[in-house]
Structure formats: C-alpha cells, structure tokens
Structure 1
C-alpha cells in the first residue's frame, strides 16, 4: 500500500489525514496551539509553534503508515489564508503571525474602503477591503509600527514561512497569493497600485507558484523531525476555502459549497474571475484556470456555542444528564419556524460578508414578553442561517442559481440544523460522509501533481456517499416572509454599529 498525507494548517490547530492511494481515509491526527488575542483586536499565532505542530502531525501520520511495505507518495497542504509575518534579512520572524481574525487594521480598512482607490483595489484584486487582508495589515503596520516595517526585508504568510523552514525556499501558491489583496486576479501578477500603496517591492514577497508545484529535498533537520525520507514530494495545495470546495466535489458553478464550523463560508468555483459590483463577495484564483467566488462569515458555530452556554437551562442539563448541545437541538426542534416572530442578527464577532464591517454587533429583534429561551435558541440558529442565505443570494445573483448545495462542518452533527439550512436557502442540501474536505482537496492536488489523475474533476469520484435534505415547503414559506425583514433590520442597524462599538471599546 502507498500513502498520501493531507495537512490542514488552521487557526487554532493543524490536522493531518493519512490516505491510501485510492484516497480512503486510514487515520487522522491533530495538534492544537494558542491563538493570542486581546481587546485591541489582536489575533496572533507563534509561527515556530505552528511549524512544530505541522511536523508533529506529519510524523504521527508517517508512523501510522507501513512504509516498510509501501511508499509515502506526497504530503499536500490546505492552510488558512490572509496571514502576515514580517521577516528580517535572514528570514527570521520580526512578528508573530497576524491571522485573518486580527482586526487592528479596521480603521485603516474603513478609511480605504470609502476612497476611489479602495474600490479600484477591490476591482483589480477581488479581495474586499477589510482588516482581514494582508494589504490592510501592512497599511496599519506602516502607521502603527513604522520601525518594524523599516526593519522588514520580507513579507510572508504561514505557508511560505513553513516551506522556508522545511526546504529553504520562499514560495507560496497562487491561491494564497490571491488572498493577500495585492495580486491582480485577472493577470496573476502583483498589482502595481497595491504595491505602491504599501511600499512593498515584488522581491520582498514570496515567489508565486501553481498549487500542484512540488518541493523535493527536505532540509536535514526537517526530515529528521518528521521521520520521513528527504525526497518525499511536498505539494503546495491551496487555501482552505478553495480546497473545501474541491474536497466535496463542488467544482462546477451549479454547486455551491457551504462550510459552517466556528465561522462559515459560502463559495462557488468558476472558470473566470467574477467581481461583485456591490463589493459583497471575494474572487480568488484557485489554480489552472479556476477561481472561487464567495463570502466568508465570522459568525457560525461560535455563535451557537455562545447561545448554548447562555440560554440552555444548566439545571436541566445536570438533572437529565444530557449533553447541552443535544438538549439545545431538541428544544429548537420543538419551536416552529420563525421562532414566533423573533429575529436574531448573529454579528457577535463583527462581520465579513456581506457587511464587511468589523464593528457589526449582534441583536435580537421583535422580542416580546411572550418569547422564551426556547424561541431565542431557535432564533439564534435561524439567524446564522439567514446570514448565510444573504451571502448565498449574492453568489446566486452573480454566478446563477445553483442546482444544489454541498455543506460540511461541525453544524452537520445537528439534524435540525441540516434541515433548517435547506429550508432557509430553499435549496437541496447534500452532506458528505467525508469529514475533512480540505485535506481531501489537498491530496487531490497532489494526485494531479503526481500524474495519478488527469485533473481536479477526479475528486468527484473520491467524495463518497452523501445524505440529502430537501426543503420543507411550509418552513420555506415562513422563511420567505422573514428574510426580507432580516435584511431590512440589518440595513437600519448598520449605521449605528461603529457608534456602539466605540462605546463598548471605551
């Protein structure tokens, strides 16, 4: 038996999945690490701790494989996008990793977004003007830490830093480059306007390569740390969102992929760049004539976790000896669609798509003396789904009505949530049995790189069984009445978000 390892480098943990040569999952491994946060909006990782975690899970996966009777064909990567590390002239870190979740550039982003230059940058790069992007992080660092910027010789993300530590090369894949806000999404070259604005030179950035590019020849310390042959091919892969689409077989524009984990995302793959004139969505290059259009949402399972912690009766959990989430799902299932006229806007962590407003805040609307905690629980789950539906509608407006939705993430553990998503979207929803779509997408890119399959469409044969959910027409009719009100209230509250955010900060 020969083996492939897919690695997903995430915000709070790295996972490795060991596959056989037919892409069957054999075993998976995970190692967590800290995300450093504070009230300023900081969200940072230690880059070397993350590299150690990657090496650890690869070593565990390699030890689980029988390499005496087979070969490790390749290791391929999915990773979080929109991170930034400043490096000195010896490629040593001057900062920790500023992750996508770092919002300290929000004032810079707000100012740039209102200018013609901001609109032009979005149109040429496909990256919304938001504190998540390395572009705005660089502009903020120029203002807040000019000494650091003056000392920086190179600007990396976590994948380019990882490959430098493993191979001594400074490269990253085109999908990660496309997420920086500095790559022209049409030409594939660094955008001159973005470079001029940040003051960054092309030679200070990693070399951009195809996601199927291999690196061979691990540095001795890296090969030893992972206990694998130094000539093992390492394939760059792509960013996690693009590979999540690939890993569920959603590589045609009539299939939308939705991920609902801690955060959420709605994405569709196209064969040409699609720029949203309303600036609601991103458009990033994937690889080889493919682009991904969609929107990331800050607020997904983390909001539901907040609701369970604060709205589920703790004494009932203790007395009945049941899991709090299981009880919450039972309670939600007992409340009719629409939560008796209660709406919830789930912006507890600011919001990216569709608002692109780091100051956005959550709210209940329509609350009366007749409402109960059960209604509020259902309204929270419905609010998360209605927010997703807003992005889903924007994607459909640009790319066309989808035939189906394929959804993955932790939400899929909830039967009531699966059905509710189909009802709110008014579209069939397929839930694949495979659990790590990013890693499956990564090894599919490795299989293309190795010549094992002809192209990325081969993934459709690797996904496996799915369970389908069809919209309930009665619930659909209810949500069709509530969705316009949800969007109306969102529009009315938006002007006040910065005011309340400033009051909270004070």
Structure 2
C-alpha cells in the first residue's frame, strides 16, 4: 500500500507517492501563473490549482506504475491564508487573493478596531495581518459588493482542492489558524469574532484535526485524476506545519530552520505560548492537541538569489557553461573569508520584514564597505546577514522559555556546508540535515498514513520514516567573533529605520 501527498504551492502543485517505509516512489508537479493586476495585489485562479493537481496526480501514478487501488490515503497541504469564494452552485466567484496580497491594510485596521485589539490577540493569538484571510473577506464586502452578495462558502487554497476531490467543505486547525478568524487555543472558529464582523457562520467549513479523514474521492474526481472512488482524504495541514511533520518537528525541544526563499524558524509546543510583542506566529500544529510557534523572515535564500542575479551574472554564465551550479562557485569563493567578513554587514530586508520587525518599509543594506572588501566579502556578508536574521527568531524563542534541544535545517540553504556552519556557529546549536526532504507533500502523506491506520500517531509516523543525515557542530573559535558582529547587526535596523520611512 502507498500514501499520496499533495501540496498546492504558490508556484505550482507537487504530489509525492511514498511507501509505508517512507521511500518516495515518484513525484509529480505542474505550475501555474501568479497574477498582479494592480500594485500590492496577488491572485491566482483556483481552476489552475485543480488542473495542476490533476496533472501531478496522473504523473505520479504513471511514473510509479502503482495501481490507484493501492493508494491507501491522501493528504493535502498548501499555501496558507488565501481566500476562495464560492457561490451557491459552488462556482468560483473571482480569483483567489493570496497570502502575499497586501491590499487589505485598511480592512485589517478596521477589524482590529471593531473587534478590539485585546480580544483579537487573546482569541487568535496573532495580530490581524494583511496576508491573513479575514481582511480579504472584508475587502470583498467593501470593494466588490456584487461578488460579496454571491458568497456562500469561503475556503483556503488546499481546501478548495479537497472540495474538488470529495465534495466536502472542510478544513483543519493548522491552516485555519492563519485566517485571523480562528480561536487558536480552542482549535475552532472564533464565532464571537465572526458575529462581530457580521460574517455568516455557515460560510466557514467544518474543522478537523490534521490526520482525521474529512471525505473520500468521489466518482467525478476519480475519473479526472485516475484515483479510485472512495479513497480517503485526511485533513492535512498548512504548508509550514506539513513541512514540520515531514522533518519530524512533532515533539517539544525540536526546532527546524528552513532556508528557502524565505526563512522560517519553527518550534513544536505542547501548550500555546505567545511572544508578548507578537513578533512570531502561534498556530495550531498538525499534531492533534499541539501548537507551534514560528518566526518568519521574508528574504533568506531569496536574498542570496537576488545577490547572485544582480552582482554575479558573469559567474552564472561561466558556471552554466561548465555544467556547474552558480551558487557553488559563489560560496566556494566566500569560504576563505573570515567570520564577520572583516567588518562588512548585510541587512536582508529586501522586501520588508515580519520577524522581528513587522515593517513593510524596511530595506536591505550593506554597511561597512571599504576598499579592501572584495566580492567574496559581500557574498559572505549576505550569508551571515541571513543567519543573523534567523538568530533573531531563536532569541525570541529563548525569551519565551521554549526549550531547544535539537535543530534540523531544511530548504535549499541546507545543501550548503558553509551556510550550515555559519548557522551553527551563530546560534551555538548543532544542526542536522535529513536523508530525504520532499517538503510539505511528504508531511501530509504521513498524516494520511496516520488517518488510515498505518501509524497510531504523528510522532510514531515521524520516528518510523524521518531519518537524519549530516550533523554540523558549532566551532567554538568563532563564537566570540559572531557574538560581537551580531550586536553590530542588531543596531542596523534601529539606526536606519528613520531613513527607511523616507525612502
């Protein structure tokens, strides 16, 4: 028997098929566009998600050679916070507003004032942010009243795919936590907030725990995908919680650091805890009865990609001509540069920031450049600046009293031995990588296994299939240097913030 995980991402859908030992038999993917019809807007057509999902499933079944009747269960993950509006015939009313859509600042301020900031924070454990779903619904009411009048159901992105597979309106606690309409401590909709905002309760789907079966593949979806009618579909999880399951961050003391385009520091919680300054997010975890806290920096690997594309185009062409990875060339060049890049600092706020400074006006900066600095120094400064930004989240977790016993590093940045070493040196923690990393789709495949009885719990599933690979130890020789440089880094944002306001 086999398990299928599907991740509805921002750039495309990924599907993975695994066996009961956690080995990946096949993966499939298909992409779709992101539309920005106006500045600050970000939209996608949910029909594109469904088309890509069908293609990814068919590809997995075709390449694996596995009969669809051998698929024991399906898990769903996806980009969080987006809004899919359906009418009474279950037709999509308009393109979905995505997590990165920033048009709803006025609506979020109005929600906070209408509900009351203290009530919002006590109930949802998070401020009302522009990316979250609540502001999108109010925006629709204010700016597209004709469309708002047609709304009968509001779904998150992965839950629209669930509807297309099963015909069920359902969600689960981890993804719903990012709507600003969810009572995170109680793991259910915040009905008082819904009533205060005059949002009909019946618009919002039933909430399940992540491993629970929420429905089964119906006949038309089976015909469209190649799956077998009746295959169970479990709740799944939002992308960050799903990724954490796939890396085994399912018990207290374990923390993951993901260095992809963005950077995320993610910690499991047995009880909900909140940073008193609300610099991190506290959401329900995909482990029933558990929560998680995460700090998010908007540019991590994205900062290195920007640097490569802007300042190292000649090396990109040379690397491609030689069949090499351009990143490998840049990072090899930076290895001999001493920690601290000889006084060159980089602030990685290239698209604003969320943790620790929720400031859309924040900017990036190189500070301390001299005639003695070569490109390799700038490369090293970028790597270190990203890690200092990640350490900010570690500092917040420690101030919250969260135990950190083990750190696991994932994402594209984890492939760099140099970046791993810098992260270990700056945080002071040993780091582990994973033998196999398939992202959120792998995590929800494990959730499908729990929901269909392969394993009795999410931690049992992770212990059975998640395997550690390399261990990186902090170098004590560099600890003092990095402590000093980190204190310099911490001074950059306060010093530059008045200028950011003017730019």
- After TM superposition, the score normalised by the length of structure 2 is 0.93
- Write out aligned runs for 1:337-376 (5 A): 337-376=339-378
Task: State the partner residue of 2:117.
Answer: 118
Match of 1:290 in 2: 290
Moved more, 68-77 or 330-339: 68-77
Verify: 1:493 aligned to 2:496, yes or no. Answer: yes
Aligned in 2, Cα 1:69/1:62: closer, same or farther, shift over 3 Å? closer
Distance 1:169 1:313, change over 3 A: closer
Matches within 5 A, 1:334-483: 334-458=336-460, 459-483=462-486
Deviations along 1:6-52, whole A, 9 cap, x unmatched?
11221111111111122211121111111223561112221111111
Alpha-carbon separation, structure 2, partners of 1:367 and 1:108 = 42
What is the rounded CA distance, in whole Å, between the counterparts of 1:155 and 1:404 in structure 2? Answer: 38
Spell out, residue by residue over 1:451-504, the C-alpha distance to the aligned partner (whole angstroms, 9 max, x if none): 22111111123112321101112222221112122222212333543442xxxx
Instruction: List per-residue Cα deviations over 1:44-88 (Å, max 9, x = no partner).
Output: 221111111112111222233444597111111222211112222
Check 1:276–1:308 CA distance in 2 against 1; reply closer, same or farther (3 A cut): same
* Unmatched 5+ stretches in structure 1: 501-506
Is the 2:13–2:31 contact (alpha carbons within 8 Å) kept by the matching residues of 1?
Answer: yes
Find the residue that maps to 2:179 and give its secondary structure.
coil
Give, in whole Å, the separation in 2 of the partners of 1:222 and 1:456: 28
- SS at structure 1 position matched to 2:102: coil
> 1:40-439 residue pairs with structure 2 within 5 A?
40-67=39-66, 71-109=70-108, 117-196=116-195, 198-286=197-285, 287-312=287-312, 314=314, 317-318=317-318, 321=322, 322-439=324-441
1:347 and 1:69 mapped to 2: Cα distance?
A: 46
Comparing 477-486 and 193-202, the one that deviates more: 193-202
Q: Structure 1 CA distance, aligned partners of 2:364 and 2:489? A: 12
Name the stretch that deviates more: 407-416 or 124-133: 124-133
Q: CA deviation at 1:185?
A: 1.1
Q: Which residue of 1 aligns with 2:21?
A: 22
CA deviation string 1:75-103 (max 9, x = no partner):
11222211112222222122212111111
SS of match in other structure, 1:340: helix
Rate the CA distance shift 1:473–1:39 in 2: closer, same or farther, 3 A.
farther
Change (3 A) 1:182 1:429: same
Encode CA deviations 1:147-173: one digit per residue, 9 max, x unaligned.
433332322211221122222211111
Q: Which SS does the other structure have where 1:307 is aligned?
A: helix
Structure-1 separation of matches of 2:206 and 2:394: 34
- Indicate the SS of the match to 1:440: helix
Give the root-mean-square deviation of aligned CA atoms: 2.3
The corresponding residue for 1:504 is: none
Q: CA deviation at 1:374?
A: 2.0
Paired residues, what number? 499
Cα distance in 2 between the residues matched to 1:273 and 1:470: 31
Q: Go from structure 1 to structure 2 and tell me whether the alpha carbon gap of 1:125 and 1:158 turns closer, same or farther (over 3 Å shift).
A: same
2:449, 2:441 → 1: CA distance? 12
8 A contact 2:2–2:19 mirrored in 1: yes
Alpha-carbon contact 1:216-1:230 (below 8 Å) kept: no
Distance in 2 (CA, whole Å) between partners of 1:468 and 1:396 is 22
Question: By how many angstroms is 1:125 displaced?
Answer: 0.6
CA-to-partner distance for each residue in 1:423-470, whole Å, 9 max, x for gaps? 121111101121114233212211211122111111123112321101
- 1:253 and 1:490, CA in 2 relative to 1: closer, same or farther beyond 3 A? farther
Gaps of 5+ in 2: none
- CA separation of 1:66 and 1:101: change in aligned 2, threshold 3 A: same
CA distance in 2, matches of 1:67, 1:120: 51
